[in-house]
Amino acid sequence: MAQPKTFDIAKYCEEMEQDIGPQEGEAKLFWQALSFAVSAHQDQKRKSGEAYVSHPCRVARILVREMEIRDPEILAAAVLHDTVEDVPEVTTEVIGEIFGKNVEEIVDGCTKISNFGGSKQAFYKIVHRKIFSGAASHVEVMIIKLADRLHNLRTLDSMPKHKRQKIADETLDIYAPMAKVMGLYNIKRELFDLALMFKFPRQSTKVLANIRQMAESPQLAEIRDSLQQVMDKAWITAEVKTRCKGLWAYYDPLNRLLDKEIKNPTEIFILVNNTQACYQALGLVNQLYPPIPRTIRDFIANPKPTGYQCLHARANIKGQNYLLKIRSHEMERAGRLGALSQWSSKWKTDAFRQELREMFDILGTDDDLSYREMIAASGKKEIYTYTPRGDLFCLPAQSIVLDFAFKIHTDVGQRCGFALVNKKRVGPEHRLQDGDQVEIVRQKKPVDFNPHIQQLCQTPKARSGLARMFRFRRQVLAHGIGQSLVLQELKRYGIANEILDKDEMADLRDYFQVSSNEELFQGIGEDRIHLRELMYEIKNGLYAGGSPLEPPTGALNRIVLSSLDSAGIKFSRCCLPLPTEKSLFGLLSERGLSVHRKDCATFKTLAVQREDVVELRWQLKKTPLPTKQSLYVLETSRNRLMMMLSVAPEDMQLQEIIALTRRNSKLTDWEVNFKVNDLFGLKNILNHFTKTGLKFEFILDL
């Protein structure tokens, strides 16, 4: 039986003294925290049998040795980060009293939620959002969590298989991509590599064997030696190194697979003393190995937001593509440390760290966004775009005009009507390319963007800004619906509307946990507050002693609309209702109004009460229809289609007619694209095609 591992605390203290200084020096707070942590975790063991305090101690050492952090408060928080979670006697208040408010807040941000009664999936979401919220106030929270996860992965062998898989999945989805977003590339690579070895043990072994074989390639050694000789002959002090990319480069996050091969598996590094030598070395490299056209990237003149600086050049050498990276030793350090490269008490003024804070705030508070998607998008390769004045904006690859607009300012994004990209007019959904010059043209009022555009955006700020706009539009719709339902229900029971203004309504609002009638109406419109329950409280509380009327059996409240806002109105796929029809029913929810036909089979299976359903009608002449529509005419000859279109209502503004099939017979399927001003015109068009006897299909496009 294997002996449990031991942790030599005395040796650890000696090593940390060498790294950060003596116990009575500037790092005194850390040493006090270390003593506290040793005492708090005294009787606790890890799965490996080692003293539990070894884990927070080594997390602090990762911060010191691999992230070059010397701040005593961060190191104190690191060594204390598990005390509140694992020691019942220790609370965040205790941490604050002994070590200060800042350490307390960082430790609280690192502490998991202990009491939760929901599903595991919901629990993990809350845990992650709490970490993001803590990191929004203190980026140190995420830094400690990354070091914490790195040490856990290094010692994961002692955990059961299902735990290893769960931790590996979480690392691949959140922590490793987050390290990349923060510019901590060494940490990113190791997190990915370790997680992938636990996630794909067999495939990883094969890929690693291929990587080792490439590293021993004579051709790679020959290239390295040739470059070193060229540098030496030019009297440039340089160190040429080669690196075969690790498992991290073979991971396909979209399909969650480990690829067997990648296009550019090898990198060549040339480290020089200063910036001028970088450009001299690039000239020599280009003479020896001519670059592939349009592949030279100057990240020295245009650093990445993380502070990364380097010259990139790609060359094809003996049939193999290689990426050559040229940088100074200081650039190498800054690139390795990312957001930590210039850590100081004034770091809050740094633009990149402010962007990190903003991103963490969005990830921690906005339930409408998938934080996994946002982290992945933020970690994509960058493109560089410019304003007409020459201001540089770095965006994730595949960003659209709206990402650029929100990057400038939230108000600019909200009112982005269109843009001039390289002096050519394009819409907000236009995808930007590297080097584009972008000028945003704003409208006077916020634009009613279609919700689909949110999926095209690549930046958390744009997606979050749009989510807030869509939420506001849903809330306005819900408020109007809720108010109408309450007033109709009061009338149905013979109760005067003035009852809503009585002082006693305050108690009723408290009961439903709202502060105003407006919030009450919105809650009804979103089905968070049930109309049936509200009316029960009004009848038996505020109106007690009166004699309300009994409502007609099965009578539904009616909502009349003049909008097709897709942010709040969803036409169900199960029965494909149209707003021009009668006998439409609506179901209320926080996500908006779900529209069904009266005879919808799915709707009939729902267990709902009268108050949960509303009858819907649209004001046809007052409801605009700004989007292009498509009508599909089936098995019709060209002549007959053209004849029917020639006598179609004037409301139909034809845009395009497309033949969808080519058959030997004269009958063809057609796509007819058109515009129409309002629902009244659409109804006329649909009635016309119904009377023609043509077979056709129409689905409303919003």
Give the CATH number, domain containing residue 141: 1.10.3210.10
| Catalytic position from the list 68, 86, 429, 590 | 86
Boundary-marking domain end, from 175, 199, 223:
199
**Do residue 194 and residue 208 come from a single domain?**
no
The predicted structure's pLDDT at residue 238? 94
Boundary-marking domain end, from 590, 618, 646:
618
Closest-CA residue to 477 (of 594, 625, 620): 594
Tell me if 177 is assigned to some domain: yes
170 burial via Cβ count (<10 Å: 0-12, 13-18, 19+): middle
**Do residue 36 and residue 147 come from a single domain?**
yes
**Do residue 19 and residue 154 come from a single domain?**
yes
| Tokens coding 207 | 């890929």
Look up the CATH number of the domain holding residue 667: 3.30.70.260
Tell me if 363 is assigned to some domain: no
**Do residue 190 and residue 331 come from a single domain?**
no
**Do residue 21 and residue 164 come from a single domain?**
yes
Cα 525 to Cα 530: distance, rounded to the nearest angstrom: 9
- The residue range of the domain holding 180 is 9-199
Tell me if 691 is assigned to some domain: yes
397 burial via Cβ count (<10 Å: 0-12, 13-18, 19+): middle
Cα 31 to Cα 37: distance, rounded to the nearest angstrom: 10
**Do residue 194 and residue 291 come from a single domain?**
no
Tell me if 439 is assigned to some domain: no
The predicted structure's pLDDT at residue 51? 86
Tell me if 374 is assigned to some domain: no
Sign of CA dihedral 606, 567, 534, 366: positive
**Do residue 636 and residue 609 come from a single domain?**
no
Sign of CA dihedral 549, 555, 561, 564: positive
Q: Check if the beta carbon of residue 501 is closer than 8 Å to that of residue 538.
A: no
Phi, psi of 512 (to 5 degrees): -90, 5
The predicted structure's pLDDT at residue 111? 85
The predicted structure's pLDDT at residue 2? 47
Question: Helices (DSSP H) in 100-217: which residue ranges?
Answer: 101-110, 120-137, 140-154, 161-170, 176-181, 185-199, 201-215
Question: Helices (DSSP H) in 420-514: which residue ranges?
Answer: 453-456, 460-492, 505-511
232 is catalytic: no
Tell me if 452 is assigned to some domain: no
DSSP tag of 649: -
Tell me if 190 is assigned to some domain: yes
Closest-CA residue to 378 (of 462, 297, 450, 255): 462
The separation between the first and the last C-alpha atoms of the chain, rounded to the nearest angstrom, is: 67
- Count other C-beta atoms under 10 Å from residue 614's C-beta: 22
**Do residue 564 and residue 688 come from a single domain?**
no
Spell out, as residue ranges, where the chain has pLDDT lower than 50. 1-2, 344-349
| Catalytic position from the list 8, 14, 26, 85 | 85
86 is catalytic: yes
Cα 22 to Cα 496: distance, rounded to the nearest angstrom: 78
Percent over 90 (pLDDT), the chain: 53
How would you label 669-682 residue by residue, b for 16+ Cβ within 10 Å and e otherwise? bbebebebebbbbb
**Do residue 39 and residue 169 come from a single domain?**
yes
Tell me if 347 is assigned to some domain: no
**Do residue 191 and residue 238 come from a single domain?**
no
**Do residue 110 and residue 220 come from a single domain?**
no
The predicted structure's pLDDT at residue 402? 97
Cα 214 to Cα 267: distance, rounded to the nearest angstrom: 11
The predicted structure's pLDDT at residue 274? 95
Cα 62 to Cα 179: distance, rounded to the nearest angstrom: 14
**Residue 680 neighbours by CB under 8 Å, 6+ apart:** 620, 621, 651
Boundary-marking domain end, from 314, 340, 366:
340
Phi, psi of 414 (to 5 degrees): -65, -30
Helix/strand/coil for 114: coil
**Do residue 253 and residue 325 come from a single domain?**
yes
Closest-CA residue to 402 (of 450, 352, 444): 450
How many structural domains comprise the chain? 4
